């Protein structure tokens, strides 16, 4: 049985579809034939190309990585596929879908399933059911529509030990030719509680790991493929310091010449670790700053002080590592003055306002605490009708900042930006 997986990012440069890679490798291990289609702002496909692809590959199941920013395009392609062959089953997964209201399925007639649990195991369950001729029987981890009724199935848990998932890199599922850097994961999930983020709830505040040996083998592999720029997509790369030491020492021991980008928290680094990071090839560390107001940091449950952030930034810069900061405005309880302070903080620390260091308005996505309880957080969504599959996103003002004030902050950030506010990691 053939399965086609789509990654669509019409507004971003091409990058490795790492999540789909994991799912693809897992399905391949279970005997399914899998193909990933990665469509970035560079396009690369015409209507005819897509039609040819669907007809020639003839998949029985098509999966989409779904975000708020691409769902319009995802639904468009799903509809197109159904018009070519209505028997092809369509499943949506990804951050937009895990906590999407089930009723949204009614507004998406071209979609058969919503993936609610871990992608690898859920898609395997669905694929096996389709292959067995009973596409809606005995499946787990999904929401589906049958006879116009919406059904939720039992959750399905993923593996605690991430090494049980085959490596997407070793599976040969990626085309590295169009991407600047290889994306790798050493862990999944986040044990913290930031209210604006979906990951802690999606991972039930748990963090799971790959073994260091596996990660080192993957690095070796991608370097062999000519990619020595590595982007570790872990939300908290240095969550367990002893692991990071092992990994970085391994990179040095194996003489792997790599340039590494990581994202971590300011309270998860120290001077010795930074020294080692620099030696092993870490060129940039992105910290979650969010706000330069202690009060706001408390409201959003960041559990970090400005002093910790300041110290981490200065230390990182001391070792010649570039610092990026993720910051946001229109956060719960944040005033106009406090939002201005964040911009000043970033400027005063010599951080280049470009790429990831461009601030963005907080987005209220499905699954984040702030979305679930938006009233409590002083969020006032605009009175407008949205499709059920779209969350509040940035269509709100707050009790402490008006729509006009938010627009001014946005303009100020854009004016200070070196690249017109283009953020890389969303």
Partner 1 sequence: MEIYIKLDDEFQKEKFFSKLPEIDIFSNIYFFFNNLKHFELIFDILEKIINFLNTYTFSYLRLHLVHPYKEELKYIYSKIYEFLISFNLEGYKHQVVPRLVVFPIFSSEPSKDILEFLESHFFPPGVILNENKKIQKGFPERVFINFCDDILLSVGYQNILLNLLDNVQFPEKNWKTCSPMIVFEGKEIFPCIYAFENKLNQIDKDLCNKCFYRLLKKAFQFKLLNFQELASLHFRLGLELFEEKNIEIAEKHFLEALKFVSSKEKKNLYYYLGICKAQMSEYNSAIEYLKNSKIFNHNTYFYLGFSFFQKKDYLKAKENLEKALEFKLPLEEKIPIVLYLGHTYKELEMYESAIDLCKEIAEEVFIEQAFNLMGTCYFKLKAYDKAVEYFKKAILLDPFCAIDYANLCLSLKALNKKEEARYYGKKALELDPKLEFVRKALKEMEND
User: Can you give the binding site for partner 1, defined by CB under 8 A?
Assistant: 8, 10-11, 39, 41-48, 50, 68-77, 79-80, 177-181, 226-229, 386-387, 390, 393-395
Beta carbon of residue 136, minimum distance to partner 1 (angstroms, whole number): 26
Q: Which is nearer to partner 1, 253 or 386 (CB)?
A: 386
Q: Which is nearer to partner 1, 206 or 386 (CB)?
A: 386
Q: What's the token pair of residue 292?
A: 């330069």
CA distance 216 to 260: 13
CA distance 425 to 326: 9
Residue 407 phi, psi (nearest 5): -65, -35
Buried b / exposed e along 10-26 (16+ C-beta atoms within 10 A): eebebbbbbbbbbbbbb
Beta carbon of residue 12, minimum distance to partner 1 (angstroms, whole number): 11
Beta carbon of residue 392, minimum distance to partner 1 (angstroms, whole number): 9
Q: Which is nearer to partner 1, 9 or 187 (CB)?
A: 9
DSSP summary character for residue 260? E
Contacts 24+ apart (CB under 8 A), 217-220: 217/167, 217/170, 218/167, 218/169, 218/170, 218/184, 219/184, 219/251, 219/256, 219/258, 220/254, 220/256
Closest among 29, 50, 30, 35 to 3, alpha carbons compared: 35
Beta carbon of residue 269, minimum distance to partner 1 (angstroms, whole number): 27
Q: Which is nearer to partner 1, 23 or 39 (CB)?
A: 39
CB 284 within 8 A of CB 323: yes
Beta carbon of residue 73, minimum distance to partner 1 (angstroms, whole number): 5
Q: Which is nearer to partner 1, 276 or 392 (CB)?
A: 392
Q: Which is nearer to partner 1, 159 or 382 (CB)?
A: 382
Beta strands in 167-233 (DSSP E): 182-184, 187-188, 208-209, 229-232
Beta carbon of residue 15, minimum distance to partner 1 (angstroms, whole number): 12
CA atoms within 13 A on the CB side of 54: 24
Q: Which is nearer to partner 1, 169 or 188 (CB)?
A: 169
Beta carbon of residue 52, minimum distance to partner 1 (angstroms, whole number): 11
Beta carbon of residue 384, minimum distance to partner 1 (angstroms, whole number): 8
Q: Which is nearer to partner 1, 149 or 385 (CB)?
A: 385
Q: Which is nearer to partner 1, 128 or 229 (CB)?
A: 229
* Element spanning 151, H or E: strand 149-152
271 Cβ contact list (under 8 Å, min separation 6): 315
CA distance 112 to 114: 7
CB 298 within 8 A of CB 292: no
């Amino acid at each position: 049985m053939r399965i086609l997986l789509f990654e669509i990012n019409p507004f971003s440069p091409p990058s490795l579809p790492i999540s789909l890679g994991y799912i693809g490798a897992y399905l391949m291990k279970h005997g399914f034939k899998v193909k990933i289609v990665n469509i970035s702002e560079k396009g690369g496909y015409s209507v005819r190309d897509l039609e040819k692809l669907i007809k020639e590959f003839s998949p029985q199941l098509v999966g989409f990585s779904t975000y708020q920013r691409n769902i319009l395009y995802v639904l468009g392609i799903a509809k197109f596929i159904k018009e070519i062959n209505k028997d092809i089953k369509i499943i949506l997964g990804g951050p937009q879908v895990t906590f999407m209201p089930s009723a949204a399925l009614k507004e998406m007639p071209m979609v058969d399933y919503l993936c609610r649990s871990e992608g690898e195991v859920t898609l395997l369950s669905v694929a096996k059911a389709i292959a067995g001729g009973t596409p809606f029987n005995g499946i787990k981890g999904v929401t589906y529509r049958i006879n116009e009724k919406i059904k939720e199935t039992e959750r399905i848990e993923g593996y605690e030990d991430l090494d049980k998932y085959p490596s997407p890199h070793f599976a040969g599922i990626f085309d590295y030719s169009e991407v600047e850097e290889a994306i790798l994961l050493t862990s999944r999930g986040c044990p913290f509680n930031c209210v604006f983020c979906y990951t802690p709830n999606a991972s039930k505040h748990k963090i799971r790991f790959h073994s260091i040996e596996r990660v080192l083998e993957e690095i070796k592999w991608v370097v062999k493929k000519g990619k020595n720029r590595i982007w570790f997509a872990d939300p908290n790369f240095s969550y367990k310091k002893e692991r990071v030491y092992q990994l970085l020492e391994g990179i040095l021991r194996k003489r792997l010449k790599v340039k590494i980008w990581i994202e971590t928290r300011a309270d998860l680094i120290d001077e010795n670790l930074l020294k080692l990071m620099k030696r092993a090839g870490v060129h940039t560390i992105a910290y979650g700053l969010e706000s330069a107001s202690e009060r706001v940091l408390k409201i959003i449950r960041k559990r970090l002080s400005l002093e910790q952030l300041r110290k981490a930034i200065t230390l990182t810069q001391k070792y010649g590592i570039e610092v990026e900061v993720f910051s946001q405005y229109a956060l719960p309880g944040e005033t106009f003055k406090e939002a201005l302070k964040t911009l000043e903080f970033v400027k005063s620390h010599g951080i280049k306002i470009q790429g990831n260091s461009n601030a963005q308005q907080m987005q209220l996505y499905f699954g984040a605490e702030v979305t679930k309880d938006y009233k409590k957080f002083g969020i006032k969504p605009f009175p407008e009708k949205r499709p059920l599959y779209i969350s509040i996103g940035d269509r709100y003002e707050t009790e402490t900042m008006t729509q006009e004030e938010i627009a001014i902050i946005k303009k100020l950030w854009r004016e200070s930006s070196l690249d017109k506010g283009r953020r890389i990691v969303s």
